Structure 1
Amino acid sequence: MEQIATMNRLRDEALRDPFAYDRLSYLTDTIGPRLSGSTQASAAVEWVAAQMRALGADVMLEKTAVPHWVRGEETAFLTDWPNKVSGATQKIVLTALGNSVATAPSGVSAAVIVVHSFAELRALPAGAVKGKIVLFDVSFDKAMTAQGQGIQAYLQTAPYRVVGPSVAAKLGAIAVLVRSLGSADLRTAHTGTLLYTEGVEKIPAAAVTAEDADLLARLARQGPITIHLTLTPQTLPLETSYNVIADWKGSENPEQMVIVSGHLDSWDLGTGATDDGAGIVTAMQTIQLLQALNIHPRRTIRFIAWMNEEFGASGAATYGKEHSVEFGNHVAAMESDLGCDHPTGLYLSDPALEAFLAPVADALKPIGAGSLTTISELPSEDLAPMIAAGVPSLAPIQDLRSYFNYHHTAADTLDKVDRQHLQENAAVIAVTAYAFADASKPAPRSK
């Protein structure tokens, strides 16, 4: 069958062509970190748009308002603890959480209260944390991560970062520290966004390394401890940015769309190689492979580089608002946002897709990526508006055993990317997108 042969050609060419790695090198090493609202995020938009125009795609920049948060100074020192040497201090390694407010410019000194759960915090006597700094010392489950359940481990601890500052502020805390959400204990701090609760005082918040959380917890068991914390982030006015949209027009039903995507913004500590530069370049390569092999499927394949996933997915919200009337013609949507280690198959939003994708699974089995797994919540925040509308949605299943070592850290850099694995991911995206785009009938959908 011609479609099977074409899927095999796309797979093999993706494994041969270095396009994705070459573009990822430029995106990370030359452009660098791409925090929403930054100069580098703006440069990345223009660069991706130019790349897609050069491939012959129809390109549109979709305006979206994004936050502009700037990190500033971030330091902490343990200044008092049981039996300390006179005049001594100890450095605490940390990084501000995205969206955090600042301390006073000179910092703040306060006693630290260590808790291991929200329940433990709420069980403290009334006023116990008033005027103090709360440390949520909740360990990331490394055993679960080693067994391939990194997403589950992350979701178990993420609430302490996301809402912990407001929970503590309600009880009178003046700042919050959170044990970093990550699986490698290399004294590396993992940032991430917090969400302040409306009507609750906003207090400064930072993530401390696992080693420093352990240190604070050990000393706190011996007696009172105090730290001096300085965070000077700024929240600047909203900036105008863009989703990059590039269409490879369908030959028969161009109004019907298959989405391939990743998010273009990244955190500012590293260069966003695995989160989510890899997702961007593997989606870009789908269009490049179609162009190189002169393949024109029945339906349009639409590439989207989402802007501002890390600070609230405003780019995805804009797309949902502008294109919701077209969602009936969005026959499938994919996003890769969990790194780029070896793919083993596809997560599906709907079990009805399994039979439809059986030929895709067969085409991907030679690279070990033939698994099809339906899950209740797809790990793709940017696709949420389409998933809610019933658009069949997918994401690559990837080996996550090392992903959370580098997630949201200064270590998320190009050297963490395996070229072969990146090309395997490009093959998964391209083969799957083509199958949806050239099928004789659109894929089934439950809604």
Structure 2
Amino acid sequence: MNRKSILIVDDEPDICQLLGITLSKMGLETQTASTFDSAQKLLCHQQFDLCLTDMRLPDGNGLDLVRHIQNNSPHTPVAVITAHGKMETAIQAMKLGAFDFINKPVDLKILRNLIEDALNINYSSDSKSFNLIGESECILQLKTQIEKIARSQAPVYISGQSGVGKELVARLIHQNSPRREKPFIPVNCGAIPIELMESEFFGHKKGSFTGAHQDKMGFFQAAHQGTLFLDEVADLPPNMQVKLLRGIQEKSFRPVGDTKEHSADVRFLCATHKDLSKLVQTGFFREDLFYRLNVIEIKVPSLIQRINDIPLLVTYILKKIIPNDVTIPKVSVETLEALKQYSFPGNIRELENILERAYTLSDGKEILTTDLQLPLQARKMHSHDFNMSLDEHLEQVEKEAILKALDETKGNKTLAAKLLGVTFRTLRYRLKKLGIDDDSES
């Protein structure tokens, strides 16, 4: 069996010797280069399983080598060795595609863990289990991004509208990463009561507060050696933002009521439908935490940006919601066209809800346009047929949908609310906000 081969790039002989001995004890072969130029030559003639490079080289720097490897040997993970406290440089290296970083003086235990994670990467096609449905250009680009980002240990900020599939993207990053055999822990930050947040994230010791009848494992401990996905991270209160930042930077946590720090080897992925950079500007989200979480940003496109994927999505969703022993109904051309013309403010999640309702209302053999019960057979948005902002356009679409529902129910707001799929209270609120006359209590 061939031994794994590691390239060490550093102009300090003592460091090269230390790393060489450590890796040799792990059963790995090593080669060393003291300059950027000599490293390039070795990389041209040999395939390495991992490259460890110092940030400062006599004829260049580690960032140049990261770029070179990404361009010429993208399947070779590269980790950079940085001077202690040079976090900005380490983040820049990971943005360029570095797998991870390690500080000087090198902690050999951390080094061994890093190498084990890096060499666990499997690039065979069998390891790719993408469930992103679509063939549009933006989805193909997203799949490529996921494959590349999965190789890294860098924190990732996943942005996009509600319902586009941000958690799916997070799961795919984890599934295609060296951590895929370890836990993936999703956390909805907006669903945890503020008074329980510290205990939920870091755990607690028995007796640490009233009701703590036994030790509890927190998210950090549960995700050890795996991935922690913080959904709706913008909803974290200020005190938890401080504690989370410390946990990420120190790679450790302290359970409530405990006196000891516990190490946490966790990769962080986060997402929100809010504009996190604007929340930073307005002071609602810590800037230092934002930059620690937003090392790499990946944007998930809205459904209206990939409207030609709708036929494939419809087929996939119907297969998912209909029992295996039941024949999948046909979907008429007119029905597909109606879906393509709709604006989908709720994206994929809304499409799933519409199709589930349509299948229930259909005769089981074919789904017709009338089965969809869309709020409005919306015109497809083309840049040449309206001169307004997106918010103005969506407000106009909503207003037209409400007026149409009121017209069809002859002004009966209770029936109109049912037709629109909202509560009567919600309809009253929308009528007031949109400036539509609301004298009647019907």
Q: TM-score range by the shorter chain?
A: under 0.3
Whose strand proportion is higher, 1 or 2? 1
Q: Please, what TM-score do these two structures have when normalized by structure 1?
A: 0.24
Whose helix proportion is higher, 1 or 2? 2
